[in-house]
Amino acid sequence: MYNKFPGKDITEEDIKSKIPLVANFSKEPFEIAGVVFNGKKIPVMAGPNMVESEELIIETAKSVKASGASFLRGGAFKPLSFPYRNEKYTETGLDGLKWLKSAREEAEIPVITEVMEEKHLDAVCDATDILQIGSRNMQNYPLIVESAKTGFPIMLKRHYGASLRDWLGAAEYALKEGCTKLILCERGMSIPHTHRATSRFSLDLQVVPATQEITNIPVATDPSHATFWRDWVEPMTLASIASGADSIMLEVHPDPENSAVDPLQPINFETFNSLMKKMDSVAKAVSKEVI
């Protein structure tokens, strides 16, 4: 009477013919820049939305590392919904990449940053340890293919309007081109406005066990972008850990109210430090650890 995947789009046939590499991803722990994924410890990626300046990114790198973060995050390139920029609200591009390199060196912490165009791949690879494909590029298959060809680890964010099936289809492109170190990241889905409880996006934690049912690719969540609201970052981060998330990405800024973009969502250093401890407590309750 009931099929195996009621109400789900992914069939056994899909698993065989459309996402075989995703379905057979090894469950063995793997390392990126010395950090283990799929192990007992949950890696945390933290930093500002934008790499605003060299000082800011170095300061942040040192602080998040001291609190236990495994990666520094920060965008030098970023898809912005409108073409106009001003002095503050702007991408820092190649400068941003240079500052990320300084921060990586000074704070001795590996880096994850977004790549938006094939022509920037060399420059981005020079500054990062993981190539982030942003949610708006999840269906930009040529970019995924070219990124995979570099041999770099990739983190593929889910588009806010993408099904698990489409997301794993995009992941299959990366694996097929030889990517062996892949991470998936849920960053909030769009929900009907009549449901609007909460914010622009809604963190889809149900996708964590749903994904893990099909693949061993680690699943991260990004509660900052999903909630778009500082006060909800903590509960949704802890909930992510309890739901089984394999990694956490957080927006951390020395002066959140004055961050260049989305000033309502970053948390400051002190909050991050205290949240790391709470994450660790919840993680231990589910036989994992964060610090």
- Please list every residue from 145 through 204 that binds its own copies, using CB under 8 A: 159-167, 169-170, 172-173, 176, 189-204
Residue of 2, 34, 87, 122 that binds its own copies (CB under 8 A): 2
Residues 107-136 that bind its own copies (CB under 8 A): 116-119, 136
Q: Which of 23, 55, 32 is nearest to 212 (CA)?
A: 23
Residues 39-78 that bind its own copies (CB under 8 A): none
CA distance 208 to 218: 9
Least distance (Å) from its own copies to the CB of residue 95? Answer: 18
Residue 254 binds its own copies, judged by CB under 8 A: no
Least distance (Å) from its own copies to the CB of residue 284? Answer: 7
Residue 211 binds its own copies, judged by CB under 8 A: yes
Contacts of residue 2, defined as CB under 8 A and 6 or more positions apart, other chains included, come to: none
Residue 284 binds its own copies, judged by CB under 8 A: yes
Burial of 243 (0-12, 13-18, 19+ CB in 10 A): buried
Residue of 70, 113, 132, 137 that binds its own copies (CB under 8 A): 137
Residue 289 binds its own copies, judged by CB under 8 A: no
* DSSP code, position 33: T
SS (H, E, C) 248-269: EEEEECCCHHHCCCCCCCCECH
Question: At residue 68, what are phi and psi to the nearest 5 degrees?
Answer: 115, 5
Give the containing element (helix H, strand E) for 140: none
Choose one: 33-41, 42-50, 122-130, 221-229; the region binding its own copies (CB under 8 A).
Answer: 221-229
Residue 256 binds its own copies, judged by CB under 8 A: no
The β-bridge relationship of strands 111-114 and 130-133 is: parallel
Q: Are 225 and 266 in contact (CB under 8 A)?
A: no
Least distance (Å) from its own copies to the CB of residue 211? Answer: 7
Q: Residue 130: beta bridge partners?
A: 112
Residue of 139, 268, 271, 273 that binds its own copies (CB under 8 A): 139
Residue 255 binds its own copies, judged by CB under 8 A: no
Least distance (Å) from its own copies to the CB of residue 174? Answer: 9
